């Protein structure tokens, strides 16, 4: 049963600050009529593009497909309009499902109630048609449905991704404060790294930045390690199309990255976790991972990109963090001439103490924490002298 025909609207969701880098990725994958939203991008595409985006897009958390839009001023209207949708063409009776609600500026003010009424409408439709009802599973549903009310306009969407796409499938060990994979891919994208220059994360923790960088440089699809996407449970799932897409992109994977990629951390446990993650992607031999104190060792390359996410947050008292960030600045000035250093941090006060002038500052959110991603170009003399040399 095909309920997705031709071109339709797709909404991709992402983290605050990554909207433009996501839009650029979607354009490269073939998206049409892109429109930037708050924490997302709306675009048009067909089923091939929907599957492709789920497999290939590094900076999206999920892709949802609106299937009905209507006005619902009260719960009865919501119930009857949701019940009118041909759910039997979308999902099977024996598949579990879950409904998420969200509401703003509408008569229906409670998102949980909106989800409950919609769930009742779906269940009742199946019961009337078949005498049986599908089961709800809020933890691990096969079919995920989003109901969004805004100014009494209801949009019913299907979530094509399922678990958030930052769950790539390679993170097999837990660690304190790992960077979200989508955020890591997003900051690498924002940095302008062209995948030919050496890339070094000197405080790599669980290895997210080097692993994401290596996946990009080798053109490995970020969805390669995931087994499950929600659209695979839809009635109109086209397995041949999916296999065709994955084959096409898998054939473009390079045998090695066209540059050096390295991570180090002073904590041996973190280095061991980073090595596990590099191994679980099959990239262990392409990423150099070492135990090292950033302040104590020489720079590994003559020039390149540093992209790093030093410690920040409640665990470090401000006084110490100011000293710590000052040492980062001093180390960069002393040992990293010729590098572009990008630092991602939520410690905005400490960032001011690096003693270097940022040439770019990009505000981002990490969860609820306001962060900045800042670029520092490390020249041998002053910037003026450098400009005169060119
Ligand atoms: C916020 S965590 C990085 C998280 C990482 N991006 C990830 O995704 O897992 C900061 C890391 O800096 C490391 N670190 C702190 N001081 C360091 C130093 N002087 N040299 C090297 N690593 C250091 C810590 O061990 C910690 O793993």
Question: What Rg, from alpha-carbon coordinates, does the chain have?
Answer: 24
Distance (angstroms) between ligand 1 centre and the Cα of 310 equals 5
CATH number, residue 82:
3.30.2130.30
| Dist. CA 376 → ligand 1 center (Å) | 19
Q: Does one domain contain both 133 and 15?
A: yes
Decide if 164 is inside a domain. no
> 């949701």: which residue's tokens?
82
Residue 164 Cβ inside 6 Å of ligand 1? The answer reads no
Would residue 17 be called left, alpha or beta, if left means φ above 0 and alpha means ψ between -120 and 50 degrees?
left
In a domain, 167, yes or no: no
- Predicted TM-score (pTM) of the model is 0.94
pLDDT in tens, 204-237: 999 999 999 999 999 999 999 998 999 999 999 9
CATH number at residue 262: 3.40.50.150
Q: What ligand 1 atom has the least distance to the C-alpha of 327?
A: 19
Distance between Cα 311 and ligand 1 center (Å): 6
Kindly give the residue spans of alpha helices, DSSP state H, lying in the chain. 19-29, 47-56, 75-84, 111-130, 181-191, 208-217, 239-250, 268-280, 318-335, 348-351, 383-389
DSSP 38-53: TTEEEEEE-HHHHHHH
Q: Are 144 and 26 within one domain?
A: yes
Does residue 195 share a domain with residue 129?
A: no
- Residue length of the chain: 390
* Residue 38 and residue 101 in one domain: yes
Give CA–CA dist 220/256, Å, rounded: 10
Residues 22 and 66 in one domain: yes
Question: Ligand 1 centroid vs 360 CA: distance in angstroms?
Answer: 23
Burial 378-389 (b: 16+ CB within 10 A, else e): bbeeeeeeeeee
Q: How many domains does the chain have?
A: 2
Helix (H, G, I), strand (E, B) or coil at 205: coil
Side-chain half-sphere exposure of 168, counting CA atoms within 13 A: 28
Atom of ligand 1 nearest to the CA of 179: 8
- pLDDT tens digits in sequence order for the chain, 390 residues long: 567 889 999 999 999 999 999 999 999 999 999 999 999 999 999 999 999 999 999 999 999 999 999 999 999 999 999 999 999 999 999 999 999 999 999 999 999 999 999 999 999 999 999 999 999 999 999 999 999 999 999 999 999 999 999 999 999 999 988 999 999 999 999 999 999 999 999 999 999 999 999 999 999 999 999 989 999 999 999 999 999 999 999 999 999 999 999 999 999 999 999 999 999 999 999 999 999 999 999 999 999 999 999 998 766 666 689 999 999 999 999 999 999 999 999 999 999 999 999 999 999 999 899 999 999 999 876 555 555 554
Indicate if ligand 1 lies below 6 Å from the C-beta of 324.
no
Range of the domain at 213: 181-221+253-389
Is the shortest distance between the CB of 203 and ligand 1 below 6 Å? yes
**Cα(84)–Cα(233) distance, integer angstroms:** 21
Residues 131, 22 within the same domain: yes
Residue 95: count of CB within 10 angstroms of its CB: 16
What tokens appear for 252 in the block? 């473009």
Task: Tell which one of 310, 321, 371 to mutate to probe ligand 1, the residue whose CB is within 8 A of the most ligand atoms.
Answer: 310
- Cβ of 358 below 6 Å from ligand 1: no
Please give the C-alpha separations between residue 180 and each of 144, 184, 387, in angstroms, as whole numbers: 22, 6, 37
Distance 264 CA to ligand 1 centre (A): 8
User: Ligand 1, closest atom to CA 295?
Assistant: 19
Task: Please indicate, yes or no, whether residues 324 and 287 belong to a single structural domain of this protein.
Answer: yes
Q: Specify whether 189 is located in the same domain as 333.
A: yes
Please tell me whether residues 22 and 145 are part of one structural domain: yes
- β-bridge mates for residue 155, sequence order: 69, 148
- The reply to whether 101 and 197 lie within a common domain is no
pLDDT of residue 177: 85
* Helices of type H across 32-110: 47-56, 75-84
Residue 245 falls within a domain, yes or no?
no
182-199 per-position pLDDT tens digit:
999 999 999 999 999 999
Same domain (yes/no): 303, 362: yes
* Cα 16 to Cα 312: distance, rounded to the nearest angstrom: 19
């Amino acid at each position: 049963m095909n309920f997705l025909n031709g071109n339709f609207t797709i909404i991709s969701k992402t983290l605050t600050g990554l909207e433009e880098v996501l839009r650029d990725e979607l354009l490269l994958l073939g998206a049409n009529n892109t429109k930037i939203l708050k924490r997302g991008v709306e675009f048009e595409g067909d089923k091939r593009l929907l599957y492709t985006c789920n497999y290939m897009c590094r900076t999206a958390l999920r892709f949802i497909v609106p299937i009905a839009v209507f006005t619902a001023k009260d719960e009865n209207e919501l119930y009857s309009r949701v019940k009118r949708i041909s759910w039997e063409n979308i999902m099977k009776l024996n598949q579990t499902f879950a409904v998420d609600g969200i509401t703003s500026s509408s008569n229906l003010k409670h998102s949980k109630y909106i989800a409950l009424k919609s769930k009742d409408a779906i269940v009742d439709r199946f019961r009337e048609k078949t005498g049986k009802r599908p089961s709800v599973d809020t933890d691990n549903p096969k079919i995920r449905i989003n109901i969004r009310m805004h100014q009494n306009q209801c949009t019913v969407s299907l979530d094509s991704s399922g678990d958030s796409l930052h769950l790539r499938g390679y993170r097999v060990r837990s660690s304190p404060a790992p960077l979200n994979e989508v955020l890591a891919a997003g900051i690498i994208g924002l940095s302008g790294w062209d995948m030919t220059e050496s890339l070094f994360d000197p405080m790599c923790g669980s290895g997210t930045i080097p692993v994401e960088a290596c996946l990009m440089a080798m053109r490995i699809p970020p969805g390669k390690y995931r087994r499950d996407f929600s659209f695979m449970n839809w009635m109109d799932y086209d397995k041949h199309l999916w296999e065709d897409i994955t084959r096409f992109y898998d054939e473009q994977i390079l045998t090695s990255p066209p540059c050096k990629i390295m991570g180090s951390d002073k904590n041996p446990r973190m280095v061991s976790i980073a090595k596990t993650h590099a191994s679980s992607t099959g990239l262990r031999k392409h990423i150099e991972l070492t135990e090292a104190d950033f302040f104590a060792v020489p720079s590994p390359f003559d020039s390149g990109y540093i992209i790093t996410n030093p410690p920040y947050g409640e665990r470090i008292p401000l006084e110490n963090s100011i000293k710590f960030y000052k040492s980062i600045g001093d180390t960069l000035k002393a040992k990293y001439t010729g590098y572009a250093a990008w630092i991602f941090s939520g410690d905005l006060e400490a960032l001011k103490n690096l003693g270097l002038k940022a040439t770019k500052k990009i505000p981002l959110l990490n969860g609820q924490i306001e962060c900045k991603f800042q670029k520092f170009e490390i020249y041998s003399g002053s910037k003026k002298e450098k400009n005169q040399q060119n």
